[in-house]
Amino acid sequence: MRTALVAALKHSENGDRRALMPLAGRTVLGWQVDFARRIGCERIVCICESTGPEIIALQRETELAGGEFLAIRGHLQLGSLLRTDEKLVVLLDGLLIDRSWAERLCPEDARLLQCVYTLAPDHSLAKSHPEHFERIDAARSWAGLAIVPGSVAQRIADYPPDGEAASLLVRLALQSGVPCAELPLDKGGANGGWQFAESPDMLVRRERDLIDGLVSTANWLAPGDALAGEVVRRSASWGLAHGRLLAASGAALLAIVGIALAWFGYGVAGLAMVGVAAFAASLAQAWIRLRASLFGNRPGVWAWLASRAVIDTAAITALIGALGGLAAAPERLALPIFVIGLARIAARDPDTRLGPFWADRTTHILALAVCAGFGALSYALVAFGLAALAHKLLPIRRI
């Protein structure tokens, strides 16, 4: 069994607890727990003064994922929780480790080696925070991570309660002969995904880098989807929690209102409303992809509400209403179905750079709304459908 020891005790430069400062939709402590779970820790033990809402939320999240989360007040309780045959993963309060290190330190189905990870004493982390990345000897400083045998960690109960648990466990591990290994980190400022939560400003920069690395580069051949991606990139700090819910529910509501307007004789307004709904759906999909990349979350019902199929169905229904509804000629009623269908086929072409354009329903519907305002909706649909067909059949489709 593997147990991780984390803590929420130390304060940052501005007085906030390091472990509870926010970073990309989670607290620093939440990212530590995520790392611990990725290297196979079934149980999380957190040393904290009190169990506030952040700790309780993290406990629920861990238990829902099938793990165990225990909050304790001091290290004296730790010894009785450990077995001699298990391993204890010790994490420094405020340490941020990129998830890529989980695979490097513990490949799938591999044993987690007992080790005290170290930094060179001239490393930027060791020089700027010597009180946290403690000097082990003349040539090494602790890197903030150690894997300690349970039999060694149990001896922490023999020490006074005012000692710092992580520091005591590292000393016990070294005294017991647990080997050291220096991390291959840049001695400058890059640190290769191994960072310390110094302040909120530092976390804002870290969040920006993290989000920029996960949000795909805007492709302005699809203006609607590109704009949605930029909105998500710039509003990640508040939108990760509820952005997908608001956008998906907004898309559904706007689509219903747009369809109703189109069928009651307000074709231009109805199509414009469905176009905005398509943009809201693009926002929701971007949020869902970002959350999946960050947290590994399953999409859930919100992904269905904002799916291309739902938006295309809404677009077809609104277009039929704008063309005159059931009173129109049958061939006019079939036109939106064929046109949206051809656009979907063109978007799936793997041999073209124009695929994103044909998938950008926001741009398509808003452009058709403008054409409807000039009384040319039928002609615009015919031209759009022919363009999609030409893209698929002619050599130009490889552009």
Mean of the pLDDT values across residues 369-382?
Answer: 96
Q: pLDDT-based confidence at 191, cuts 50/70/90?
A: low
What is the predicted pLDDT for the residue at 192?
A: 65
pLDDT at 188: 47
Q: How many CB atoms lie within 10 A of CB 43?
A: 19
Which has more pLDDT, 367 or 122? Answer: 367
Q: pLDDT-derived band of residue 109, with 50, 70 and 90 as boundaries?
A: low
| pLDDT over threshold 60, residue 298 | yes
Instruction: State yes or no: pLDDT of 300 exceeds 80.
Output: no
Please report, for the chain, the start and end positions of each structural domain, with discontinuous segments joined by +.
2-197, 215-398
Report pLDDT for 148.
94
Q: Which residues pair with 91 in a beta bridge?
A: 145
Q: Model confidence over 305-334: pLDDT tens digits? A: 678 889 999 999 999 999 988 777 777 889
Mean pLDDT, residues 255-268: 96
* Residue carrying the six token digits 């403690």: 134
Domains 2-197 and 215-398 share a fold: no
Q: What is the pLDDT of residue 116?
A: 94
What integer best gives the mean pLDDT of the chain? 88
Of 270 and 304, more confident: 270
What percent of the chain lies above the pLDDT cut of 70? 94
**pLDDT band of 189, cuts 50, 70, 90:** very low
Q: What is the arithmetic mean of pLDDT over 174-187?
A: 85
Q: Taking residues 158-170, report their average pLDDT.
A: 89
Tell me the pairing of strands 26-27 and 180-182. unpaired
Write down the pLDDT at residue 209. 83
pLDDT at position 335: 93
The CATH class, in words, for 215-398 is: mainly alpha
**pLDDT for position 377:** 95
pLDDT (0 to 100) of residue 241: 81
Confidence label for 187 from pLDDT (cuts 50, 70 and 90): low
Span of 39-53, 301-315, 338-352, 369-383 with lowest mean pLDDT: 301-315
Task: For 40-70, give the DSSP string.
Answer: T--EEEEEESS--HHHHHHHHHHHHTT-EEE
- Residue 333 · residue 282 · CB < 8 Å: no
The CA angle 251-221-268, to the nearest 5 degrees, is 45
CATH topology (fold) of 2-197: Spore Coat Polysaccharide Biosynthesis Protein SpsA; Chain A (3.90.550)
Confidence of residue 349 (pLDDT cuts 50, 70, 90): confident
What Cα–Cα distance (Å) separates residue 186 from each residue in 49, 136, 182?
A: 35, 19, 12
pLDDT of residue 293: 83
Give the mean pLDDT of 2-28. 90
**Number of residues that make up the chain:** 399
pLDDT, residue 249, reads: 92
Does residue 29 contact residue 6 with C-beta atoms inside 8 Å? yes
Q: Read off the pLDDT of each residue in 191-200 and give the average, rounded to a whole number.
A: 83
φ, ψ of residue 192 in degrees (nearest 5): 55, 40
What is the rounded CA–CA span in Å between residue 355 and residue 366?
18
Strands 2-8 and 43-48 come out as: parallel
Out of 49-58, 254-263, 325-334, pick the least confident. Answer: 325-334
> Is 0.75 topped by the overall pTM?
yes
Using the predicted structure, report yes or no on whether residue 352 has a pLDDT greater than 80.
no
Calculate what percentage of the chain has a pLDDT beyond 90: 53
Which pLDDT belongs to residue 211? 86
Q: What is the mean pLDDT of residues 279-293?
A: 90
**Per-residue b or e along 103-139, where b marks 16 or more CB atoms closer than 10 Å to that residue's CB:** eebbeeeeeeebbbbbbbbebbbbeebeebbbebeee
